[in-house]
Structure formats: C-alpha cells, structure tokens
Structure 1
Amino acid sequence: MLKTRFWGVRGTIACPYDSYMKYGGNTSCVTVQCDDTLLVFDSGTGILPLGNKLMANGNVNGSGNISVFFSHTHWDHISGFPFFKPAYAPNFNLDLYCGNLKKHGSSIFEVLSHQMANPTFPVPIDILQAKMQYHDFDAGENIKLSDEIHLDTCLLNHPKGATGYRVNFKGISVCYVTDTEHKKDGLDENILKLIENTDLFIYDSTYTEEEYPNFEGWGHSTWQEGVRLSKEAGVKNYAIFHHDPSHDDDFMDEVELDAKKTLASAFVAKEGMEIEFNGTCSGIKFGKFDDKP
C-alpha cells in the first residue's frame, strides 16, 4: 500500500488567510508512505502539522525512521524544519537527502545549520536530539532505500538547481517535481523520462500561461505545461502544486475547472488531501486527511 498526503501545497510564502483555506496556506511538504516506511518531500511550513501528528502517535508505525528529501533549499522549502518536533526527539531517526548543493560546494547540513543560527534563530542545530544522517548527492543519481523502495532523480531547471524525485514501490510510482521552469523550445526530456507512465505526477504549476511572461527566469512553470507533460508521458494523475500566494481559493477553483477541460485526471492539490494506491493502482482514494491525534 502506498499513500500520498499533502501537508503544504503553497509556494513562495505561507498564506494564513480565510480566502486560502480550501486549498491551504502552508508551503511545500508532501509525504509518501510505503507500507511502514515514511518519506517526506520538502520541509516548508506544512511539516509542522506533520510533526505534531507524528509526535502524537509517538513514532512512525513503530519504527521512528523518517527520510526527508529536499527538492532544494529555498526558504519556502526549508522554513518549517526548525519547528519539526520529531527532530528534537531522541526516539526518531532522520535521514536528510539533497541533490542540488554538492556541486556548488555546499551541503544540506551546512544550509540547515545556517538557518538555525544567530541572528535569525535562537538555538543552534546541535540542540536537535534525533539521530540525524545527512546525504548529499548529485541530481540524476538513483537512491535505494530498501529492496522494495527505489528513487529515481533528475536535475530541474531552477536557480542553483533543484531535484525531481520518482518513488517506485511495488509497481506503483509517485513523482514529485518542483521547483522547475519549462523550456521554450519543447518539453523537458529529463522530466519526461522521470515521469513516464507514473501513477501520480506532482508538478510545479505556480503560474498560468497568461501570467508566466511576467515571471520568466524565476524558475517556475504553469499548469498548462503540466498538462502537456502528462499527456506526452502517459501520466495517470496530475496534481497541480506549488500554488502562487496571489492565487486564492476562487482562483484555484477556476484553475481546476480549466485544467480538467484538457486533462480529466488533473486536479488541484489541497492541504490535507490523501491519495491511496492499492495493489497496482487499481483504485485511488481521495479524502480529507484528519490530522487530529
């Protein structure tokens, strides 16, 4: 069994406003649970409610092992980490992966350490009591977590780079592809290869095509490009993700209506949404995740 949950779907900055509550205001955080193994993608502000849930449960299905995969380390993808309660608990084991820093002479430990340092944070990273392991790699490398869980990765087109991930588990796959800017002269072959025939494609859909010319070079894409990629790669379900902070619930309602006109399996990701894959993805269950203990 594989479950995907959206804990934060917003890009750039959190939006704690009434007109954003249908889709959610927290920044990027998605979990993929493969039986008893928990994978976390990005640690935006959405990782706070995830951490609270894990602490209420005491551990993760008895193991306490969590693997966190960073797309990159821009603020909206790491700002929740200092407030992730399991990182302060000695009964948790955290493996942190990042694929865009090594070639620039940096590391995920260095970035997170600088985030938790004066003058911007009151306590240093060495206050964390969880057992921490840091893994820097180059985007494009494969990662084997177990005999049944394999991750493919690819380099994304974003300032200083970012990493796209594909989780493969028992014949099911989920792709997490954010942040990235599409090409002018055709579809991104790196992404097409990564997402081929995937069951769920989560994609940086920050802008509409009408908005995009005003933000060229910022490193983000459009939901229309996500539709084109999905059709070309045979994607089964496409999640519109990384919503711009100017896009309120009414705006996102219109995006979903327009997207479904061109791709019936497209939908706008909502904070709290859970998607469950059973067997070989014969059925998908969408639902509001109850984050109460």
Structure 2
Amino acid sequence: MSNTENQFTATFWGVRGSIASPGSATVRYGGNTPCVEMRVGSDRLIFDGGTGIRVLGQALLSQMPLEAHMFFTHSHWDHIQGFPFFVPAFAKGNRFNIYGAIAPNGSTMEQRLNDQMLHPNFPVPLQIMGADLKFNDIEVGQAVKINDVLVQNALLNHPGQAVGYRVNWRGHAAAYVTDTEHFPDHLDENVLFLADQADLLIYDATYTDEEYHSKQFSKVGWGHSTWQEAVKIAKAANVKTLVIFHHDPLHSDDFLDQVGAEVAAAFPNSLMAREGLVIQISPPTDRVEPVLIEAELGVSV
C-alpha cells in the first residue's frame, strides 16, 4: 500500500478568527482566516474557506487536475471570504464537492457563496468558475461517506448556527470544532461527541478566560470559547492532541506564545495552530511532532 493511501494529515492554511490580520505582530502564527486541509488516504478534505484557502489554492496549482471535498462550518465572512480567490475553482478539469448545512433562514451554502460574489460586492460571479462544483446540502447530524472516510457533524453554539466536524478513518479521528461558545455550567455534549477519543481536536479558543469574562469588554454571547475550556474538553473527551485555533485578531505572536505555554502546562499534548503547521494523525504517536512547510508558505521559524 502506498504512502498516500496510508496518510492521515492535517495542514493549517489559515488559523486566525474574525478578520484577516496581516502585519509584523502576526508573522509567526499567521493572519489568514480559517482553512484546514486534511489528506485522508487518497482523499483531500478542506474545512472552511477563509483567506487561508487562497494560499492553499496556490499550492495546489502544481497538482491539477484535482478533486477535493470542501466542508463549511457556516458562512460568516471569515470562513468564506477566501473562496472567491481560490484559483483552482476557476480551472476546468478540477472537481470540488462542497458541503454545508442549510442556514436557519433557509439559504443553502451555494446561495451564500453565490451572494458574496454578486455586484456590488465582487467583480465576477460564482458562475464564472470553470471547475465542476457540486453542492451538497447536509442536515445537522447527517454523516457523509467518502470512500472509507466518514465525516460526522454536530451543531455548535454560535450565533446564526455553525456545525463542527469529525473525520473518522481506519480507527482514527480528527475533530474540527470552530466556531463555538462553551456553556457556563456544563460541557457541550455535541462538542464532546465530536471530540470523543479523537487523535486530534482543533478547537476554537479565541479568548482567554480573563478576556471572556472582562467587566469592561465582555465576550459572553459572541460565539467563541477560551483555551481553558478547550483543556476541559480535551481532558473529558480523552483527546490525544489538542490544537488551539481561531486566534483573536488582537493577539500578537508574543501573546500567543504565552498562551501556548499556559496551555502546555495544563495539557502537555497541545499545540498552537499556525500557518504551515502539518500534523500527522495516523499512525498515532504519543506526542505529535509538528512540521512547518516553509517552502510553500514562506514562513520563518
């Protein structure tokens, strides 16, 4: 069996939340909004289409023609704003199977991606994309089978609705849980379901507890969680490796270094998400050793 057929990896192309945040203070972790690519056996799965998907698209140009499965958690701007700049979607011969839950107002993911590319918001419509785009509406709780990969979803606690995903393959699992807000008096059963015994948990920890409960600038009700809650979930769900994700745009590299040290002290098998980080999920290890793909992203380590 080839190495490709044995692989289960996650690559981080965008790790920032809310709004893209380029600048000298965000060079090491990156300023692009969410996009995570998973290679699972012979299949390529892409989660969310924030500005990080533009960088992913550039890296994929040398691999065309290609097929991928794109899963959207929801359609807030930071999770879809990179899709119109995803160059492989404009090339004939490529195929993208796109999945997303129907919004509470009844709109499909296709409608929402289409709407952001309409005048006066964007110069060219979605219909100009030359790739074969196949849109799939999924119900909350509906599993998607892609060859021997099973992708489950569950509802998250986020304004306007969002879903998290769990990727299952040959006894291994990776959970992508963003954007979600923890509950004050109990752990979210849906998050625990997604994270249960997972080899990898990618979790929305936009804030610290201090920021979340700030008397002056409270973040309660904003739809995001904290690293302290991430640790609680990781321990309760017996997660092997925890990745802190969806960094606040105001959090500098130095601030995230400090958060990372505190997270590691509370949960040793943890990492701070950064652009270019590649994690090998299978075969599992006692401690994930991250790799940075410097050549493709131009990051300095």
TM superposition score normalised by structure 2:
0.92
Residues 56-98 of structure 1: CA deviation (Å, up to 9, x unaligned): 2324xxxx11111001000000000000011101111011111
Which residues of 2 match residues 1-293 of structure 1 at below 5 A? 1-59=7-65, 64-101=66-103, 103-146=104-147, 148-213=148-213, 214-281=218-285, 284-292=288-296
Counterpart CA distance in 2 for 1:155 and 1:38 is 23
Counterpart CA distance in 2 for 1:292 and 1:46 is 12
Query: Which residue identity lines up with residue 71 of structure 1 in the other structure?
Result: T
**8 Å Cα contact 2:22-2:31 kept in structure 1:** yes
Counterpart CA distance in 1 for 2:296 and 2:248 is 27
SS in 1 for 2:290: strand
Report the Cα offset of residue 291 of structure 1: 4.5
Aligned-CA RMSD value: 1.4
Which portions of structure 1, spanning 4 or more consecutive aligned residues, are displaced by more than 6 angstroms? none
Counterpart CA distance in 1 for 2:95 and 2:237 is 36
SS in 1 for 2:32: coil
Q: How many residues align?
A: 287
SS in 1 for 2:152: strand
**8 Å Cα contact 1:9-1:26 kept in structure 2:** yes
Query: Which residue identity lines up with residue 77 of structure 2 in the other structure?
Result: W
Counterpart CA distance in 2 for 1:276 and 1:118 is 42
SS in 2 for 1:215: coil
Q: Where in structure 2 are there 5+ consecutive unaligned residues?
A: 1-6
Counterpart CA distance in 1 for 2:295 and 2:56 is 8
Query: Which residue identity lines up with residue 238 of structure 2 in the other structure?
Result: G
**8 Å Cα contact 1:100-1:161 kept in structure 2:** no
Counterpart CA distance in 1 for 2:136 and 2:54 is 22
Report the Cα offset of residue 282 of structure 1: 6.4
Counterpart CA distance in 1 for 2:248 and 2:102 is 23
Query: Which residue identity lines up with residue 260 of structure 2 in the other structure?
Result: E
TM superposition score normalised by structure 1:
0.95
Report the Cα offset of residue 290 of structure 1: 3.6
Residues 18-58 of structure 1: CA deviation (Å, up to 9, x unaligned): 11011111000001101221000000000011000111232
Q: Where in structure 1 are there 5+ consecutive unaligned residues?
A: none
Counterpart CA distance in 2 for 1:94 and 1:58 is 12
**8 Å Cα contact 1:277-1:285 kept in structure 2:** no
SS in 1 for 2:175: strand
Say if 1:10 and 1:173 are closer, same or farther in 2 by CA, change over 3 A: same
Say if 1:172 and 1:281 are closer, same or farther in 2 by CA, change over 3 A: farther
Say if 1:292 and 1:268 are closer, same or farther in 2 by CA, change over 3 A: closer
Quick one: percent identity of the two aligned structures?
A: 44
Report the Cα offset of residue 100 of structure 1: 4.6
